[in-house]
Amino acid sequence: MLVPLFADTAGALHAVFTERREDLRRHAGEISFPGGRQEGDEEDLRDTALREAHEEIGLPPNAVELIGALQPTPTIATNYSVYPFVGFIEPGHTWSPSDREVAAVLEFGLAELRTGYGRRRLMRRGIPFLTDTYEAGDQLVWGATARILTDLFERADRAGVL
């Protein structure tokens, strides 16, 4: 999974997300970072992250400067392990969302996301649960993506970046 970050003209950091299509079998309609499964010929998960970002949102691999990795994060419903890699990109990309997987490409300011943090009770498959969430505009980020954001914010705080 790729966590694409860019700085706007004022220097504020933003992240790029996908809104998954509603008709997908897994994680339908959820907000996530671009990512997917490793293919057989990929030995390095960084290559997987770059390939998936290219396939899902049209971000060329050579437009990404990988700067590090975040903690592997489990998904609860599908029992996957997600390996997030953080990369800097230039602002102003024209996105080409995959018709098969992506309903929309979203750009959220990290400051707005952080301000929109909260613990909320959500319902999934009829079961209520309490989870970390981030709100930006009318979008709600939760689940593994929210846990990845929490890790990003904690590491950025320790490094004095945000």
118-134 confidence digits (pLDDT tens)? 999 988 778 888 889 99
Name the more confident of 21 and 28.
Answer: 21
Quickly state the pLDDT bin for 64 (edges 50, 70, 90). very high
Task: Tell me which residue range forms the domain holding 83.
Answer: 2-159
Q: What percent of the chain has pLDDT over 70?
A: 97
Q: Span 56-84, mean pLDDT?
A: 91
Cα distance between residue 59 and residue 32, in whole Å:
15
3-state secondary structure 15-59: EEEEEECCCCCCCCCCEECCCCCCCCCCCCHHHHHHHHHHHHHCC
Q: pLDDT tens, 141-159?
A: 998 999 999 999 999 989 8
Residue 151, token pair as written in the block = 């890790």
Residue that wins the pLDDT comparison between 26 and 8: 8
Count the domains in the chain: 1
Most confident of 14-28, 50-64, 77-91: 50-64
pLDDT at 27 over 70: no
pLDDT at 82: 93
- Residue 123 belongs to domain with CATH number: 3.90.79.10
**Residue 39 and residue 121 in contact, taking contact as beta carbons nearer than 8 Å:** no
Judge whether residue 46 has pLDDT over 70.
yes
Predicted structure pTM score: 0.92
**pLDDT at 76 exceeding the cut of 90:** no
Question: What is the pLDDT at residue 150?
Answer: 96
Specify the residue for token string 């392990």: 81
